[in-house]
């Protein structure tokens, strides 16, 4: 092993370059994706956005496909890192970064320090496939749920605070749309962090927050009932029904037959390409003693399930950030993947279902099909803002904490240039090094050698195969390129592995 690659070992501060090639998920995709794609092409093919997710995942973090060579400006200590795919489907690393980035943004710039409550809305099985593909319909359904929730908060505020009108009560919420459940089944559902109270303008014209008591079982049931009625009206306008998605399935199948099959099999928990196509997915079940949960703050009406148990003071920012990370978490935890003795993929659950099911067994091709169904279509926004927290809300500036520029470590300089490069525009996402420092307390922009504390600088960005091979062998760059004042590390948009 070369000296350059040896520098990628675990640092004293705990940071180590990830090696996706060593994970079971990567091996499964690498071995079975080509066959799955070949069979898909024989039946009409997959949409480009799905194919691109798989192809770029297989390159994500793999040094042979490109790397950045860094070295300490003082002692010369070196390390190399690979490029990231930045896809939104199932890549654990890139979705993990997106999770941390979303949570930091919500806590620092969006959610005020007031009581909050998590509302979870699950939808009938019959409509889950259509919502996974139709972003416009998903937005309308979410608007129905948020409308029912907002109406409940406003009427409760009117009765509790003695307001003249429900319009005097201003509500706010943020929703993260999750596309799957613990068994990797297509299951679009809504996780909403709602302000557990309302804003009311006082006599001096100032917005004042008034917390509300916890919702009763009847109030939660009313939210579920209004959501169910509103969804039925939305589907009727689209010529669809809550009790049958045949028309929607045929419409999707005519546009993307292979993807529609993946959606249908995933939502129905059926085998698609396994030993028994059309049959239920095999499960591992351990009998358990059921415990009554009648006291849980939840309600179900016609397949619309609403849950509102988690609530706490928003001044606890650490707990709030953990909740935001949970909402924006990746769909797949690699530590729950394993190979069954018969070659099938074993996917364990974080918690067993009520019937004792604690894992599912999937044929490798069925596993790939479920991954394909997780990839969101283009322009399918996964985070939505409502009420006073919406981007164009008239009173948003009076409510949100506002954007305070963090103090990230200095940008890694590309090359030692005599002239300072132009300042790049503010990044839309938090820098990679800043997120690692916030989440793991690891300062990767500083040399890890004890007593050095020099800044790590970019020595070379290797993309061509010859440059990559030379960098991995520990050889210096062939020639230092001239400084380019129009390029900076921020503009490269490198999300290191």
Report pLDDT for 281. 93
| Confidence band of 149 (pLDDT split at 50, 70, 90) | very high
Q: Report whether 104 contacts 430 (CB < 8 A).
A: yes
What's the pLDDT score for residue 429?
72
Residue 405 above 80 pLDDT?
Answer: no
Confidence bin at 497 (pLDDT 50/70/90): very low
Residue 468 pLDDT greater than 90, yes or no = no
What pLDDT band is residue 293 in, cutting at 50, 70 and 90? low
pLDDT band for position 417 (cuts 50, 70, 90) = very low
Distance CA 149, CA 339 (A): 43
Task: Give the chain's mean pLDDT.
Answer: 84
Q: Quick one: pLDDT at residue 160?
A: 94
pLDDT in tens, 159-170: 999 999 999 999
Q: How far apart are CA 177 and CA 412, in angstroms?
A: 34
Q: Name the pTM for this structure.
A: 0.85
Q: pLDDT digit string (tens) for 12-61?
A: 666 677 889 999 999 999 999 999 999 999 988 999 999 999 999 999 98
CB burial of 106-129 (b: ≥16 within 10 Å; e: otherwise) equals: bbbebbbebbbbbbbbbbbebbbb
φ, ψ at 191 (rounded to 5°): -110, 115
What's the token pair of residue 437?
């420092």
Ranked by mean pLDDT, which of 190-199, 239-248, 329-338, 404-413 comes out on top?
190-199
Q: Going by C-beta distance under 8 Å and a sequence separation of 6 or more, which residues neighbour residue 236? A: none
- The pLDDT of residue 422 is 52
């Amino acid at each position: 092993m070369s000296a350059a690659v040896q520098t990628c070992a675990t640092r004293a501060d705990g940071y180590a370059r990830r090696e996706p090639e060593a994970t079971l998920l990567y091996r499964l995709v690498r071995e079975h994706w080509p066959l799955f794609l070949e069979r898909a092409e024989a039946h009409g093919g997959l949409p480009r956005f799905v194919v691109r997710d798989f192809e770029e995942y297989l390159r994500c973090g793999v040094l042979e496909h490109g790397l950045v060579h860094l070295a300490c400006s003082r002692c010369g200590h070196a390390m190399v890192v690979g490029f990231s795919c930045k896809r939104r489907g199932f890549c654990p690393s890139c979705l993990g970064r997106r999770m941390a980035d979303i949570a930091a943004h919500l806590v620092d710039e969006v959610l005020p320090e007031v009581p909050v409550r998590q509302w979870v809305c699950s939808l009938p099985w019959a409509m889950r496939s259509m919502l996974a593909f139709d972003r416009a319909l998903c937005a309308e359904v979410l608007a129905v749920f948020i409308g029912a929730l907002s109406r409940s908060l406003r009427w409760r505020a009117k009765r509790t605070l003695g307001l003249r009108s429900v319009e005097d009560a201003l509500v706010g919420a943020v929703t993260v749309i999750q596309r799957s459940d613990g068994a990797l089944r297509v299951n679009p559902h809504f996780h909403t962090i709602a302000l557990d109270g309302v804003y009311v303008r006082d006599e001096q014209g100032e917005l004042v927050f008034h917390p509300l008591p916890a919702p009763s079982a009847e109030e939660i049931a009313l939210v579920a009932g209004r959501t169910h009625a509103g969804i039925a009206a939305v589907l009727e306008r689209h010529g669809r029904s809550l009790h049958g998605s045949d028309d929607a399935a045929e419409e999707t199948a005519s546009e993307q037959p292979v993807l529609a099959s993946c959606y249908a099999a995933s939502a129905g928990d059926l085998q698609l390409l396994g030993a028994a196509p059309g049959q239920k997915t095999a499960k591992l079940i351990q009998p358990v003693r059921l415990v009554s949960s009648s006291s849980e703050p939840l309600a179900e009406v016609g397949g619309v399930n609403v849950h509102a148990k988690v609530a706490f003071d928003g001044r606890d920012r650490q707990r709030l950030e953990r909740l935001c990370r949970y909402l924006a978490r990746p769909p797949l935890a690699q530590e729950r993947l394993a190979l069954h003795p018969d070659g099938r993929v074993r996917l364990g659950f974080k918690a067993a279902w009520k019937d004792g099911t604690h894992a599912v067994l999937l044929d490798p091709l069925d596993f790939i099909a479920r991954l394909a169904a997780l990839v969101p279509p283009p322009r399918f926004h996964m985070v939505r803002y409502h009420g006073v927290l919406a981007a164009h809300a008239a009173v948003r500036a009076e409510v949100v904490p506002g954007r305070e520029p963090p103090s990230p470590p200095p940008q890694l300089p590309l090359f030692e240039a005599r002239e300072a490069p132009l300042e790049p525009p503010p990044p839309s996402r938090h820098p990679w090094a800043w997120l690692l420092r916030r989440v793991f307390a690891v300062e990767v922009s500083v040399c890890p050698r004890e007593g050095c504390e020099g800044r790590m600088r970019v020595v070379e960005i290797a993309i061509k195969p010859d440059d990559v091979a030379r960098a991995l062998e520990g050889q210096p760059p062939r020639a230092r390129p001239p400084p380019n004042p129009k390029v900076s590390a921020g503009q490269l948009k490198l999300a290191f592995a």
